[in-house]
Structure 1
Amino acid sequence: MYKLVAIDMDGTLLREDKTISERTKKAIQSAREKDVTVVLATGRPIEGVSRYLEELNMYTDKDYVLSYNGALVQKTLNKDVIGKIALTGEDLHYLKKLSDELKVNIHAFSETKGLITPKNSKYTEVEASINNIDIHEINFDTISKDEVIVKIMMIDEPEILGPAIEKLPKEVFEKYTVVRSTPYFLEFLNKEVNKGVGVEMLAKHLGIKQEEVITFGDAGNDLHMIEYAGLGVAMANAFDEVKEAANYITDSNENDGVAKAIEKFILDK
């Protein structure tokens, strides 16, 4: 029997208009009524999913959220931290220098300052809008080397970001977990961090076995948790490598793919 379900947001739980279908809401609620823990696993900060947590009634003392691609796992109600694996200001300085050389925009999430950028740009505005948070323009040279940085992102037009990724030194991939979550977002996390690690941290906290976990995803930053789960479910609209890693391919995010798989594997419909 499955006891933990971790669901990616964009391209998975959410339809293209950023809403959750009524069928999906009902399936999630029915699973929770069977004592299955259902969590949102996202690259966003918790503020970026608060309205969906409210919509799904996930602000009880039994609810958790995986944010920043698993770098931070916490309770939703009181924000108690279950697990945290972060970067530092030193990493920020290193990647800022690299972004300057590659001529791509950069921003980051500081534990104390929130969304920070040396120069506001189109896709930092997108990030702020998606998550309903403020942008803080800061000279990164003023950030101390030991500042806690949860996530760093290179953000730019796909035709700029794509060639820049090709030019990234090999050592970057050795130092960090690097995931392209959208065509215009490239994310850098602590090498030990990915959504799979986040799901594993929560599963161990709850005393749930790996084979009792279901994960849903569509993009590169979902790959680790798809591989980790007892049942990794890819959306019909998922990247090819996610489909290849999955145990099961469900319908698309536009066609209640999450609901259909929950009904099949948990609700026996």
Structure 2
Amino acid sequence: MYKAVFIDMDGTLLEDYCTISKASQKIIKYLLDLGIYVIPVSARPLHGMMPVLKPVIDESMPMVSLNGSYLYYKNEIINDVRISISNTIKVYQAIKNDNVTPIFYNQMEWYSDRNNEIVQKEQRITPVQIVIKDFEALLDHWEKSNHSPNKIVVVGDENTIKEVQAKLRILFEDQLNIYTSDMRYLEIMDLQASKKTGVEILVQKLGLKPEEIIALGDHFNDKDMLQFAGMGIAMGNAPDDIKAIANYITDTNKNDGFAKALKYFFY
């Protein structure tokens, strides 16, 4: 019997307009009534997760945000992994002349050195206002407050993101986790931060075993989480490389693939 379900949000639980279908709401309530943990695992910051999840999952449930670099459970931060200031500077220097938008996430705060359409799109999913600072001022702020980002997101067109990903992986091999959560979004974290790491921490804390959990996801930042779970489920809209490592493939997020998969395993 599976005791916990770890769920990616965008492209998995959520439909294209950041909504949760009635079928998905129904299956989540059914699992919670059975006493099964339903745990969101997202690239989003915590403040970008909670408003969307509020109709179906309350704050008593663990939440894995920022690709596993920031975990929150019962009003307690149980994991907080940062990118070093030195690596943050190196990443910025490597991409500053590319046609991309960098966004920096630090716990419940987020920053960019520009205010454009990309930033405004991200602003629409969170009530927390972004802080716009030039990069030098941002570094000064972090150094004075002894902070650094949990995650850097680089946003651009698909071809540019491919080029930036290839460049950064050469520069930061064995230093940073670098992968896409969407073909236009490149996620950068410390090596100790990943969705798998976040899930592992909670599995241990909740007294579970990998074979007792299901994980659902749709992109490359979900890959290690799907491989870790006893049952890794890829969405029908996932890239072929993600489908290839999954134990089970469901329908797309546009066609209630999330609800269909869980009905198959729990009804």
CA distance in 2, matches of 1:217, 1:192: 20
Alignment size in residue pairs: 262
Superposed, 1:38-117 pairs within 5 Å as 38-60=38-60, 63-75=61-73, 78-111=74-107, 114-117=109-112
Of all paired residues, the percent bearing the same amino acid is 30
1:240 deviates by 1.1
Partner of 2:113: 118
1:134 aligns with 2:132: no
Partner of 1:194: 194
Q: TM-score, normalised by structure 1?
A: 0.91
Q: Which amino acid aligns with 2:75?
A: K
CA–CA separation in structure 1 for the residues paired with 2:174 and 2:115: 29
Paired with 1:68 and 1:57, the residues of 2 have a C-alpha distance of 18
Verify: 1:219 aligned to 2:219, yes or no: yes
Q: Deviations over 1:19-66 (max 9, x none)?
A: 111111111111111111001110001111112331104233xx1111
In the alignment, the residues of structure 2 paired with residue 57 and residue 182 of structure 1 have an alpha-carbon distance, to the nearest angstrom, of 24
- Residue 176 of structure 1 corresponds to 176
* Cα deviation 1:182-220 (Å, max 9, x = unaligned): 122111001111111111111100000010010000011
Q: Within 1, Cα distance between the matches of 2:259 and 2:169? A: 41
The one-letter code matched in structure 2 to 1:92 is T
1:103 positional shift: 4.5
Q: Is the CA contact 2:156–2:185 (under 8 Å) kept in the aligned structure 1? A: yes
In the alignment, structure 1 segments of 5+ residues that lack a partner are none
Is residue 82–residue 202 contact of structure 1 (8 Å, CA) maintained in 2? no
Q: Per-residue displacement from partner, 1:98-137 (whole Å, max 9, x unpaired)?
A: 112445321201237x111122233222222233432211
CA distance in 2, matches of 1:240, 1:57: 30
**CA–CA distance in 2 between the matches of 1:243 and 1:161?**
22
- Please say if 1:36 is aligned against 2:36: yes
Q: Secondary structure at the match of 1:87?
A: coil
SS at match of 1:167: helix
1:169 and 1:200 mapped to 2: Cα distance? Answer: 25
Q: CA deviation at 1:93?
A: 1.1
Deviations, residues 154-208 of structure 1 (Å, cap 9, x unaligned) = 1122243233333335132321111111122111001111111111111100000
Q: CA deviation at 1:243?
A: 0.5
Aligned partners of 2:151 and 2:117: how far apart in 1? 19
Counterpart code for 1:256: D
Query: Are 2:169 and 2:178, in contact at CA under 8 Å, matched by a contact in 1?
Result: no
> What is residue 155 of structure 1 aligned with on the other side?
155
Equivalent position of 1:20 in the other structure: 20
Taking the aligned partners of 1:252 and 1:42, their CA distance within structure 2 comes to 18
Hey, what's the Cα distance between the residues in 2 that align with 1:111 and 1:24? 28
Q: Answer yes or no: is the 8 Å Cα contact 2:3–2:212 preserved in 1.
A: yes
The one-letter code of the counterpart of 1:116 is Y
Partners of 1:111 and 1:148 within 8 A in 2: no
Measure the CA separation in 2 of the matches of 1:199 and 1:262: 19
Tell me the equivalent position of 1:9.
Answer: 9
Return the TM-score normalized by structure 2.
0.92
- Indicate if the aligned counterparts of 2:18 and 2:52 stay in contact, CA closer than 8 A: no
1:84 aligned partner, one-letter code: D
Indicate the residue corresponding to 2:246 in structure 1: 246
Contact 1:82/1:205 (8 A) holds in 2? no
Residue identity opposite 1:151 in structure 2: K
Q: What SS is found at the alignment partner of 1:164? A: helix
Uncovered stretches (5+) of structure 2, i.e. residues with no partner: none
Separation of aligned partners in 2, 1:122 and 1:184: 14
2:165–2:179 Cα contact (<8 Å) kept: no
